[in-house]
A and B are shown apart, each in its own frame.
Chain A
């Protein structure tokens, strides 16, 4: 009986203590924002955006075989800064980004662009109740934001020198357009650029005509808000021409006319021939023959041809535009 009383007494005291704790303890504080260790965590709520980003070249920036080859498998560690950056908001807009040691395979990911230094994320709306605590930040859409990496090769500076800033057209208008043009649907996170052949095609217009016995060719930068091509010195665009042969006959080899490209700094004998926004390049071929001609502009992600003396653009580059010139 004594034992029962003792146990009951103990229970009463424990229960009393627990109740007192419940009554007098401080109200639960708001949970801190979720800690992000991988951009995969974003997928749980932002499936559409994540799916778009996953197909983007931002997502490939660490694993893309060409990047790995050009950077000597990132033995050239200078490439890591922009290919696996720490959060932009950590270093600050207008400052260089710094490299990260972990999660490199995620490349330029959700965390790199959206994570804020004190936790929470930069977004388009304030939503204190959402798990990621988004804070509306217009900086996300500013060219300077993209410029932390993309102005390393002066792309944002080229845009500043164009007519587009005065027209209110900036990076996101072409590279992250609104989904279906609807502001409520947010922006396309595929971030289409130099790997998207349709977008590249829209950058330039190719014109060719006969001028007496000569062939006159023009390329105009009609769509790129910066030089064409831009950003990477590995990108090149070449203009070729050749006599057009009858259907079914063996086509003649392409003859090189001009290259648009900014050289690497060790290529001291190569001129910078990027085509600035709105600019037109003109070239001529004297006496190309009186028969029908084909003129084409091709685009390459790598500047080198397997055989520099006999470039094979059909197999080593991508066709942007082809113009036929009548006899």
Chain B
């Protein structure tokens, strides 16, 4: 009897205890370091500061300008040699002459030629300054052209040239900017040259772009422009990648610092992202290090740069995978991993989409779509079919299925059609995904009548619809698609 009471007592006490398992301790918060500040200090120490030059006599410099203007083929090199002897001290007077609207064009172009002849880092940076948009386009073109002739080892001009590449609207100047970059083994301008060579309405510009492009491709021994870009992007074996100087590395870190929260305006941040991702494969390593920086803005924007670089950023995959544990960086890290790809990425994203904060799951679902591995279609299908999951997660999963298996999307298109009129969904995102799908691989799935009606209900160019008009338009498109899909079913 006593034994039974004791047994009962044991079970009774056991029943009173907490049946839940003790939860694991929270994951340690990621520890960050002042990675950017440390790198800047390190590279600053390696780059010797150039002493400020003594300013040259403006009359002497002007005399050399006049001499060059009047020089014939035999005497042409004399003022160039002379200005090299004067050095950086001549730069202020030469820049002044180049920008002086009242001077004849010949004197202004001679001044630019003399700046290039000085041939120093400071001269290179002055030529980049002359490429600024506020100067006349012919000055910009001349300065860029002369930069091609400058010692290729002076690579600190590359960031400035990349920014010009971004915003240069004068095609002539853009051609020379691309050529100046290529002379430093930066081929970020090759794609634009290809476009100008085939599409520019001006025949002269087309010819010049084609000539520059052919010269660059031939010099690099590539089959064509596309092959050259691919080799450059993919760290192709045997491809001679430019090794950045210490000064360029320092400059790159300073641009990474621009990404920080201390920069309020998005424009410089935007510029920094643009040029960092075009500096070449060597920038992947600094950007991967920056993922560990104490400043969350630096971490996030560095991850964005890596995302935009795509497969060339593969060496950053371990750092990005680690960043999936950083609450402030994880969603961006997931999207970056999707864009970059590589071994283990699918599994990391698949785990992230299965469990974690919603924002990370959504980002991972999108990343899986971009990654392009259709082994995850079943997992994504289960996600969008589960109405207990948040709508944006379901939508991201459905959009990814459309990307991964456009010819066999199951019910994803029906779900996205429903999203078009669901006020809780990203209606614009659903419309974009369906538009892209119907514009390509999805088109054969619906009949021509449906496709025409879908296109007819698109937003008119230039119109500014009210929210109510947009809702009505999307409702029409949803009806069109639903009917079309039903007809297909019949």
Q: Which residues of A contact B (CB under 8 A)?
A: 2, 5-6, 9-10, 13-14, 16-18, 20-21, 37-38, 40, 55, 60, 62-66, 68-69, 73, 77-78, 81-82, 91, 94-96, 98, 100-105, 151-152, 265-268, 301-302, 304, 306, 316
Cβ contacts A to B, 23 pairs, < 8 Å: A9-B4, A10-B8, A16-B12, A17-B15, A17-B16, A55-B467, A62-B426, A63-B427, A63-B470, A64-B467, A69-B459, A77-B304, A78-B270, A82-B266, A95-B264, A98-B300, A101-B360, A101-B366, A102-B362, A105-B424, A105-B425, A105-B426, A152-B265
Contact of B428 (CB < 8 Å), options: A16, A82, A96, A105: A105
0/1 interface trace, chain B 264-299, chain A, CB 8 Å (1 if under): 111101100100000000000000000000001100
- Which residues of B have CB within 8 Å of A77? 304
| Distance between Cα atoms of A40 and B270 in the complex (Å) | 32
- Which residues of A have CB within 8 Å of B8? 6, 9-10, 13
| Distance between Cα atoms of A37 and B392 in the complex (Å) | 11
- Which residues of A have CB within 8 Å of B331? 100-102
- Which residues of A have CB within 8 Å of B427? 63, 105
- Which residues of B have CB within 8 Å of A98? 296-297, 300
- Which residues of A have CB within 8 Å of B456? none
CB nearest to A152 among chain B residues: B266
Q: Does B363 contact A (CB under 8 A)?
A: yes
Decide: A66 and B464 in contact? CB cutoff 8 A: yes
Given contacts A105-B427, A266-B167, 14 further A-B contacts (CB under 8 A): A9-B8, A13-B9, A18-B16, A20-B16, A21-B16, A63-B426, A64-B428, A65-B465, A101-B366, A103-B359, A105-B392, A105-B429, A152-B266, A306-B462
- Shortest beta-carbon distance, B426 to chain A, in Å? 3
- Shortest beta-carbon distance, A319 to chain B, in Å? 14
Decide: A10 and B11 in contact? CB cutoff 8 A: yes
Decide: A40 and B424 in contact? CB cutoff 8 A: yes
What is the interface size of chain B, counting residues whose CB is below 8 A from a CB of the partner?
Answer: 53
Q: Does B133 contact A (CB under 8 A)?
A: yes
0/1 interface trace, chain B 343-372, chain A, CB 8 Å (1 if under): 000000000000000111011001000000
Contact of A100 (CB < 8 Å), options: B4, B297, B359: B359
Decide: A37 and B358 in contact? CB cutoff 8 A: yes
Decide: B392 and A96 in contact? CB cutoff 8 A: no
- Which residues of B have CB within 8 Å of A81? 266
Decide: B266 and A60 in contact? CB cutoff 8 A: no
| Distance between Cα atoms of A252 and B424 in the complex (Å) | 47
Decide: B16 and A301 in contact? CB cutoff 8 A: no
CB nearest to A65 among chain B residues: B459
Decide: B13 and A13 in contact? CB cutoff 8 A: yes
Q: Does B215 contact A (CB under 8 A)?
A: no
CB nearest to B458 among chain A residues: A65
CB nearest to A15 among chain B residues: B12
Q: Does B186 contact A (CB under 8 A)?
A: no
Decide: B470 and A65 in contact? CB cutoff 8 A: yes
CB nearest to B359 among chain A residues: A102
- Which residues of A have CB within 8 Å of B392? 102-105
Decide: B297 and A96 in contact? CB cutoff 8 A: yes
Decide: A14 and B16 in contact? CB cutoff 8 A: yes
Which are the 6 A-B pairs with shortest beta-carbon distances? Answer: A17-B16, A13-B12, A105-B426, A101-B331, A101-B363, A63-B428
- Which residues of A have CB within 8 Å of B16? 14, 17-18, 20-21
| Distance between Cα atoms of A66 and B465 in the complex (Å) | 8
Decide: A101 and B362 in contact? CB cutoff 8 A: yes
Q: Does B112 contact A (CB under 8 A)?
A: no
- Which residues of A have CB within 8 Å of B426? 62-63, 104-105
Decide: A91 and B428 in contact? CB cutoff 8 A: no
- Which residues of B have CB within 8 Å of A20? 16
Contact of A14 (CB < 8 Å), options: B12, B366, B390: B12
In the complex, chain B residues 390-435 whose Cβ is within 8 Å of any chain A Cβ? 390, 392-393, 424-429, 432
- Shortest beta-carbon distance, B402 to chain A, in Å? 15
Q: Does B342 contact A (CB under 8 A)?
A: no
| Distance between Cα atoms of A101 and B427 in the complex (Å) | 16
Decide: B335 and A101 in contact? CB cutoff 8 A: yes
| Distance between Cα atoms of A5 and B4 in the complex (Å) | 10
| Distance between Cα atoms of A9 and B334 in the complex (Å) | 57
| Distance between Cα atoms of A77 and B366 in the complex (Å) | 14
Q: Does B134 contact A (CB under 8 A)?
A: yes
- Shortest beta-carbon distance, B349 to chain A, in Å? 13
0/1 interface trace, chain B 73-109, chain A, CB 8 Å (1 if under): 0000000000000000000000000000000000000
